[in-house]
């Protein structure tokens, strides 16, 4: 289906057929949801042994009674594992609670309110504070910036990550840019993996940006491969050490999509300077993270080998879901001018671009037919997709059968919206 070359008559015929099909979905009364990057119950059950994992022994290897107060940065064993996951050193790691988002929020808060480079470095004292936001991206990152009144600047993404020419030019031009959001592996939502060149250039930003600039490197999907021959993400801290920019990068991760989404262990890694500043302020805000939950995790997933084996079980559950979405997209749009999409090899999302100006209409049509999609624009700062094209598809939670039904609705909605738009021209 190519709407550009189609005759009026052909378009009109398609319009009628697609509308009829859409109406059949509407009366069908579906109630399906492709909005959230939530693990399915089957995935969560892979970690059920966390309950009871301690067998009454609450002492960690280093002798800590995990039940009691104490320790702002987590158990040594958990730091070691987190360091391996993030490609960092244990002494550069801080273990958090159940939410890496909270660690990101605290990092922004402390940089804003107090400054991470000592007195005089607080963002709130700057005339303006701006963040670069590679788009499409993650709405919860953007929400933190919006909450603090940080101006967000869109930067385009391609298969290698953010457009680094644009990133460097913007930073050279404007020292009020204090951060950039990155999801370097299986980026949310495009699924791309940043190239070595991109990672190295991100590591070098510290040399052209202001001293209180930070790369917010949300490595949420670093071990979330869908294949057993995953691409390697180059280690950003190695590049930082090479270029003397260790203080410019804050890395984040968690086990939310490894064990329990709402009851995992979050962590971050950064330079000794950053860690010291963060711990000083975090020590005011909390009695410390839940060490019992850390120990539970260590008893169930004690090494990177065990972690990788565990992630392969997730992949087994996720692959058929991704395949189902991709098959629908290929069958419907493989030879068409109606959309482009990503074919990720890991992570939680498939990113779909409609023809310009149609994403909102597609989301609306799908909703009419009982299929909830992530709101159009959600993947952009301020919820505004300038071209109204991007839709994030999240296939992890529903069953394959439900995804199959939902994708039939979605593909028809994309076609109908495209034909309607073409007819109006």
Candidate list 6, 10, 58, 372; residue touching a second copy; CB under 8 A: 58
Candidate list 18, 32, 47, 199; residue touching a second copy; CB under 8 A: 47
The minimum distance between CB 115 and a second copy, in angstroms, equals 13
- CA contacts within 13 A on the Cβ side of 408: 13
CA distances from 201 to 72, 116, 152, 160, 245 (A): 33, 22, 20, 12, 11
Candidate list 12, 13, 42, 48; residue touching a second copy; CB under 8 A: 48
What span, in angstroms and rounded, lies between the C-alpha atoms of 413 and 405? 13
Interaction mask 222-261, a second copy, x per CB under 8 A: ----------------------------------x---xx
Total of chain residues touching a second copy, rule CB under 8 A: 54
Contact between 27 and a second copy (CB under 8 A)? no
Candidate list 34, 93, 95, 101; residue touching a second copy; CB under 8 A: 101
Q: Which stretch binds a second copy (CB under 8 A): 98-106, 196-204, 322-330, 341-349?
A: 98-106
The minimum distance between CB 325 and a second copy, in angstroms, equals 20
Considering only CA atoms, which of 420, 402, 328, 410 is closest in space to residue 367?
Answer: 410
What span, in angstroms and rounded, lies between the C-alpha atoms of 30 and 195? 41
Contact between 70 and a second copy (CB under 8 A)? yes
Contact yes or no for 103/96 (Cβ under 8 A): yes
Q: Which residue has the tokens 């959001």?
A: 181
The minimum distance between CB 360 and a second copy, in angstroms, equals 24
Subset of residues 293 to 312 that bind a second copy, contact rule: CB under 8 A: 293, 296
Contact between 188 and a second copy (CB under 8 A)? no
Considering only CA atoms, which of 161, 277, 279, 177 is closest in space to residue 217?
Answer: 161
The minimum distance between CB 140 and a second copy, in angstroms, equals 8
Contact between 66 and a second copy (CB under 8 A)? yes
Contact yes or no for 15/424 (Cβ under 8 A): no
Q: Which stretch binds a second copy (CB under 8 A): 115-123, 183-191, 282-290, 400-408?
A: 282-290
Listed as own residue / partner, the contacts of 84-91 with beta carbons closer than 8 Å and 24 or more positions apart are 84/304, 85/219, 85/222, 85/223, 85/253, 85/267, 85/304, 85/307, 86/219, 86/222, 86/251, 86/253, 86/267, 86/269, 87/233, 87/235, 87/236, 87/237, 87/238, 88/237, 88/251, 88/269, 89/269, 91/272
What span, in angstroms and rounded, lies between the C-alpha atoms of 403 and 373? 12
What span, in angstroms and rounded, lies between the C-alpha atoms of 21 and 321? 24
Please list the residues that pair with 257 across neighbouring strands.
Answer: none
Q: Judged by CB, which is closer to a second copy: 39, or 206? A: 39
Q: Judged by CB, which is closer to a second copy: 153, or 263? A: 263
The minimum distance between CB 48 and a second copy, in angstroms, equals 6
Q: What are 216's two structure tokens?
A: 């917010």
Candidate list 3, 18, 86, 144; residue touching a second copy; CB under 8 A: 144
Q: Judged by CB, which is closer to a second copy: 21, or 257? A: 257
Contact between 382 and a second copy (CB under 8 A)? no
Which residues of the shown chain bind a second copy in the complex (CB under 8 A)? 36, 38-39, 41, 44, 47-48, 50-56, 58, 65-71, 97-99, 101-102, 105-106, 109, 113-114, 140, 143-144, 147-148, 256, 260-263, 281, 284-293, 296
């Amino acid at each position: 289906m190519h709407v550009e070359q189609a005759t009026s008559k052909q378009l009109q015929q398609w319009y009628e057929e697609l509308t009829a099909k859409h109406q059949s979905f509407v009366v069908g009364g579906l109630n399906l949801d492709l909005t959230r990057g939530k693990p399915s119950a089957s995935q969560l059950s892979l970690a059920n042994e966390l309950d009871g994992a301690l067998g009454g022994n609450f002492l960690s290897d280093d002798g800590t009674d995990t039940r009691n107060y104490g320790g702002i940065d987590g158990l040594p064993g958990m730091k070691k594992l987190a360091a391996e996951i993030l490609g960092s050193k244990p002494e550069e790691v801080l273990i958090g609670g159940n939410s890496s988002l909270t660690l990101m929020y605290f990092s922004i808060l402390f940089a804003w309110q107090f400054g991470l480079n000592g007195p005089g470095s607080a963002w709130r004292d700057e005339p303006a504070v701006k963040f670069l936001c590679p788009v499409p991206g993650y709405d919860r990152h953007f929400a933190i910036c919006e909450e603090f009144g940080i101006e967000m600047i869109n930067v385009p993404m391609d298969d290698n990550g953010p457009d680094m020419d644009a990133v460097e030019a913007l930073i050279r031009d404007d020292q009020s840019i204090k951060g950039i959001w990155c999801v370097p592996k299986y980026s949310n939502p495009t699924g791309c993996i940043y190239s070595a060149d991109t990672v190295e250039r991100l590591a070098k930003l510290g040399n052209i940006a202001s001293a209180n600039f930070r790369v917010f490197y949300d490595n949420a999907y670093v071990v979330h491969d869908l294949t057993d021959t995953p691409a390697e993400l180059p280690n950003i801290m190695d590049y930082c050490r090479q270029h003397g920019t260790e203080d410019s990068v804050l890395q984040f991760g968690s086990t939310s999509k490894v064990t329990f989404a709402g009851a995992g262990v979050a962590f971050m890694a950064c330079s000794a300077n950053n860690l010291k500043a963060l711990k000083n302020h975090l020590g005011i805000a909390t009695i410390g993270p839940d060490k019992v939950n850390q120990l539970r995790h260590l008893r169930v997933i004690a090494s990177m080998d065990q972690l990788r084996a565990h992630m392969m079980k997730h992949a087994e559950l996720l692959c058929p879901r991704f395949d189902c979405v991709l098959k629908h997209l290929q069958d419907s749009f493989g030879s068409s001018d109606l959309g482009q999409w990503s074919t990720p090899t890991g992570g939680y999302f498939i990113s779909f671009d409609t023809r310009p100006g149609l994403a909102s209409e597609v989301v609306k049509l799908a909703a009419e037919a009982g299929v909830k999609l992530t709101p159009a624009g959600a993947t952009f700062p301020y919820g505004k997709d300038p071209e109204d094209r991007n839709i994030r598809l999240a296939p992890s939670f529903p069953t394959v059968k439900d995804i199959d039904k939902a994708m039939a609705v979605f593909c028809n909605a994309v076609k109908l919206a495209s034909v309607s738009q073409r007819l109006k021209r």
